[in-house]
Chains A and B, each alone.
Chain A
Amino acid sequence: MSENAALLTVLFAMIGGAIRVSTPFIFVSLGECLTEKSGRINLGLEGTLVFGAMAAYAISFLSGSPWLGVFVAGCCGALLGAVHGWVCKLPRVNDVAIGIALMTFGLGLAFFFGKPYIQPAAPRLPSIPLADWTGNASLATALKVNPLFFVGIALAVFLSWAFRNTRTGLILRTTGDSAAAARAMGVSVDRVRLLATTAGGFLAGVGGSFLSLYYPGSWSEGLSSGQGLMAVALVIFARWDPMRCLFASMMFGAAGAIGPALQSIGITQGYYFFNAAPYVVTLFIMIASSSTKGALASAPGELAVTR
């Protein structure tokens, strides 16, 4: 294989990886972004993601309709989000602690109900072949895209617009920045946060359905391996901006493809290092973009971490 062809392989793999791997990150980080904008942290989205993956797979298997599975996964996620939002309404409850509790709860519940669905094969979500016309086989496979990916992009654009330009967005941001100001506006802070957490849970559930129904496309107990937690961290990395969430997720997916792609073209030394590429890249961007002043300026003022 010539130098150029090898480089091209890695490039295609990274594009493909960005598209294939990023979708769950996009959904979970957008959901978390929404929740955190309202002034609350839901660390339980890893549990929501895995439960969503299980629910989607089970429903798709039982009903034969993967899209119904996606919807049910979202509803299950919304339910878990609502539990978080409702419990955090009670006085002197710590949202971080509840989040961790819900994460374990979601995982346990998913493993418990998911047992019978490890073996059977459920119908999967379809993909849109975008590059078949090019006649380039590897480009064609890299650009087989699942509709949920586009939904994720649209959602990021929409959220980014809605935060800035709609009344609902203003209320959400006010609640997140200053609960007192929101109350003075006559807004029920708890209700806004309950709704934001529920919506965030819905998105995380949908993200889970992508894992089990599209890529890698089967349900098993090790399916997520911490992606939900990484997505929550991505929100901080993206400074609570939906568009940046989208780019961070795609970059994370692309960087994740580096490890396997390099090994496949024969660059085999140091694969542990290349497998850590997503984290290394994240770390470097964090350092490069940090500033001594106002590093958390864009953080919602009501978040437990910034208060």
Chain B
Amino acid sequence: MSFKEMDRRTLLKSAAAGIVGVGAAGLPLRAFAAAPTIGIVYVGPRDDFGWNQAHAVAAKALKSVPGVKVVEEENVPETVAVQKSMESMINLDGANLIFATSFGYFDPHMLEMAKKYPKVEFRHAAGLWTKDKHPGNAGSYYGYLNQGHYVNGVAAGVVSKTGKLGFIAAKPIPTVLLNINSFLLGARKSNPKATVQVIFTGDWSLPVREAEAANALADAGCDVITCHVDSPKVVIETAERRGLLTAGHNASQAPLAPKGFITGAEYKWETIYKDFAALIAKGEKLPNYVRGGIDKDYIANTAYGAGASEAARKAADAATADLKANKPYVVGPLKDNKGNEVVPAGKSIDNYDVALEQTSYLVEGVVGSIT
């Protein structure tokens, strides 16, 4: 089977090379290799008001850059199917850079492809790549969305009347825990008595349970709700119907809540994607490890909605300015919600510290538990 496939592929490749060769012979020489062709693979639909949409918005922005060709495929499962998608992008469309945008694409799929096509660059949107273990033409890029959630919290702390904020989360993994903690730290900055009530639904996409969770939070007296699930649409809409204020996640949910939307934490992948495209066009080596937050414009907050008061806007703008200046916001003394010390007094965790990506606790003020 694999021999057969190999033959067919080699044949296709040499045929393609032949055509290019014939074409090149008749035309003045042009640097084909430097034209960036970028393949982007999504795990879900591109219009999910969430994670995939954030990438798709960036892909659209990338398409408007002259000389850049973008090929996309959505709903690609985290199975061998993604390898086939990547191979067709490389062999048929001539992609020289692949963005694998889902966590499960990395091992073994993207790694296999990186070994098989050493001249193609692969980048994964999560923190799994390490220098010593993985191929040099692979790498990872990620934005610190937690900074956006921090700004959400700052604004939410100002507008909340009860001081009780709700957070609907899918699973207690480090990125999610960090977002919850950041939301609380933001809220405590504007209202030192604020608490965040967490509901874990148990999976990334469970619309009915997410709606139930939003209702339960409303019944428990929370007046601002945000979430970390794949598609925040249901949460934001349900909260809006209950007359609550909302803060967004991943992409812009402003149109879903004309009355209660405050602001949202948004990825701006286009900044990273455009940087990469420019580097390819110049023929330069791509970085393997890319990180950044509001300071590098990898993360931005959604334009304020009707739910953000004047005071909330001012406080949020100030928090954004602090993050732009790379001022740490995880500052001691800080305890987790079981009473253990996380950051001693006088110390703080730097915004770029890997410790943040490995968060395994909920800070004091968050009502919820990981198990």
Contact = CB atoms under 8 A, between A and B. Distances in A.
- Chain B: interface residue count, which band? 35 or more
B239 to A, nearest CB: 12
Given A16-B215, A141-B215, A256-B212, A275 B368 contact: no
Contact of B234 (A21, A138, A218, A271): A218
A197 to B, nearest CB: 26
B198 interface: yes
B208 interface: yes
Interface residues of A, number: 41
Given A141-B242, A263-B368, A13 B207 contact: no
Contacts of A218: 207, 233-234, 237
Name which of B199, B202, B205, B216 has the most chain A CB atoms within 10 A of its CB: B216
B147 interface: no
A227 B202 contact: no
Contact of A220 (B48, B198, B238): B48
A269 B213 CA distance: 16
A271 B170 CA distance: 12
Nearest to B204: A222
A14 to B, nearest CB: 10
Contact of A264 (B208, B219, B237, B238): B219
A261 interface: yes
A9 interface: yes
Given A118-B47, A268-B369, A223 B200 contact: no
17 contacts: A13-B212, A21-B212, A115-B47, A118-B47, A141-B218, A141-B219, A216-B234, A216-B238, A217-B234, A220-B207, A222-B205, A222-B207, A256-B212, A259-B212, A263-B213, A263-B216, A264-B220
Interface of B: 44-45, 47-49, 166, 197-202, 205-213, 215-220, 222, 230-231, 233-234, 237-238, 241-242, 256, 367-369, 371
Given A12-B219, A218-B234, 15 more contacts: A9-B219, A20-B212, A21-B208, A21-B212, A216-B237, A217-B211, A217-B241, A218-B207, A257-B212, A259-B209, A260-B199, A264-B199, A264-B222, A271-B200, A275-B202
